[in-house]
Amino acid sequence: MLEFASAQTDTSLYRTDTLPNNFFLLHTRERDGESLPEIDVKEVVIVGRPSNSKKFPFRRYERMIYNLKKVYPYGLVVRARLEQVNRELMNIPDEKERKKYLRTVEKDVFGEYEDDVRDMTITQGKLLIKLIDRETRNTSYELIQYYRGSFSAAFWQGIARIFGTNLKAEYDPYGEDAVMEIILREIEAGRL
């Protein structure tokens, strides 16, 4: 049911596509037997000032925005691919066929994203590892261990440690990754 509200006393009806700017189109919903007006409001995010102990230099903040904008789409791709792989694996009863399917998916993913990942900076790689944990609720190490085995996970953890990162790094949105979480929410809301 649509209702018209106006600040003027004019009672003439207008077509909805020619309403003047001083009119609002209100939708109503039934709640507890009453018809109440309802309006959609955009989300408002209020971020408090960081305390002195949590100051984050502006240049680092801008750099993190740049890096997260570059890496965030890959985090979403990892989540989507992982969901797809898990759905497919549930339909493959034979272990041999499952391994064959995983090798095929791995080959496809490497072919599609290897150049992009190789072009990432070490900082972007660290952020991607955190993003993978945020999006999948599993660390990169756990994912490698599950899909490729413990030996492979230990090997890649060793390579990661050479570059100063850790595949076992967990995402902490309320602790050390709080600034990252704020930036990601802004990106998701389309404000960055």
The more confident residue out of 39 and 158 is: 158
Identify whether 98 is part of a domain. Answer: yes
Task: Assess whether 105 and 32 both reside in one domain.
Answer: no
- Considering the domain architecture, whether residues 148 and 181 belong to the same structural domain is answered as yes
What number of other Cβ atoms are within 10 A of residue 125's Cβ?
A: 18
Query: What total number of domains does the chain contain?
Result: 2
Rounded Cα–Cα distance for residues 16 and 25 (Å): 8
- Does residue 167 share a domain with residue 137? yes
Closest CA to 104 of 116, 118, 89: 89
What is the per-residue pLDDT for 72?
Answer: 92
In a domain, residue 49? The reply is no
Q: Are residues 9 and 101 in the same domain?
A: no
The tens digit of pLDDT for each residue in 119-174 reads 989 899 899 999 999 988 888 898 888 888 889 888 988 988 888 888 888 888 88
Tens digits of residue pLDDT in 170-189? 888 888 888 899 889 888 88
Indicate if 147 and 70 belong to the same structural domain.
yes
Helical segments of 55-139, H only? 58-90, 95-118, 122-136
Residue 44 lies in a domain: no
Judge if 76 and 21 occupy the same domain. Answer: no
In which domain, by residue range, is 32 found?
2-38
In a domain, 47, yes or no: no
For the cut 70, the answer to whether the pLDDT of residue 3 exceeds it is: no
pTM for the full predicted model:
0.69
Same domain, residue pair 153 and 178: yes
| 87 and 128 both lie in a single domain | yes
Whether residue 34 is found in the same domain as residue 62: no
Are 108 and 185 found together in one domain? yes
What's the mean per-residue pLDDT of the chain? 81
Residues 63 and 14 in one domain: no
Based on the fold, state whether residues 169 and 95 are members of the same structural domain: yes
Closest CA to 71 of 142, 141, 109, 123: 123
